[in-house]
């Protein structure tokens, strides 16, 4: 079975000016590509799990979200020779009470089924309590709650994942 690192997107991988709907506005934090390349080299699948309520609110169009993710992968490929393996998206608003919105684990569990992932050898990194709780609810090896847009806490999580996976 595969192992994976599940990643929140906004404020974990990129700055979030609020409901990014234009790929031209998307930027990656400068430290992300190299760190994700380290995970990929260690054999991890990289899966973004992201609540994108802007879709339901009409603030983001699906075609633009797809273009944003294509740009994310293009930047990662250019800067670190790495790409995201899958994007698991919840398009609902919190009031919809759906089953896929983090902190519920459905996005993670569905991706694990699609990619035959061993959750007990996988991790979650995110900047919100809902990210952390989704990882815990999915029974991942460990969930990391990092400071939004914070290079040291992101790198510390990657370092711990790499060290833990060697044990």
- The catalytic residues are 8, 10
Q: How many residues in total does the chain contain? A: 167
Q: Supply 139's token pair.
A: 């029974």
SS3 helix, strand, coil % of the chain, rounded to 5? Answer: 45, 20, 40
Number of helices (H), then strands (E), in the chain: 5, 5
3: three-class secondary structure by DSSP:
strand
The token duo for 96 is 């919809």
Virtual CA dihedral for 8, 9, 14, 15, nearest 10 degrees?
-90
């Amino acid at each position: 079975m595969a192992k994976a690192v599940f990643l929140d997107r906004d404020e974990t991988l990129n700055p979030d000016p609020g409901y990014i709907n234009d790929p031209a506005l998307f930027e990656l934090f400068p430290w992300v590509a190299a760190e994700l390349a380290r995970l990929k080299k260690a054999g991890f699948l990289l899966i973004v799990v992201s609540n994108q309520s802007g879709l339901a609110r009409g603030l983001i169009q699906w075609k633009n979200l797809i273009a944003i993710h294509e740009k994310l992968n293009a930047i990662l490929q250019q800067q670190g020779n790495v790409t995201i393996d899958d994007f698991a998206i919840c398009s609902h608003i919190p009031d919809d009470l759906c089953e896929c919105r983090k902190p519920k684990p459905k996005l993670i569990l569905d991706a694990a089924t699609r990619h035959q992932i061993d959750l007990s050898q996988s991790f979650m990194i995110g900047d919100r309590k809902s990210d952390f709780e989704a990882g815990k609810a999915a029974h991942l090896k460990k969930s990391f709650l990092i400071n939004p847009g914070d290079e040291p806490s992101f790198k510390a999580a990657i370092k711990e994942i790499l060290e833990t996976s060697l044990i």
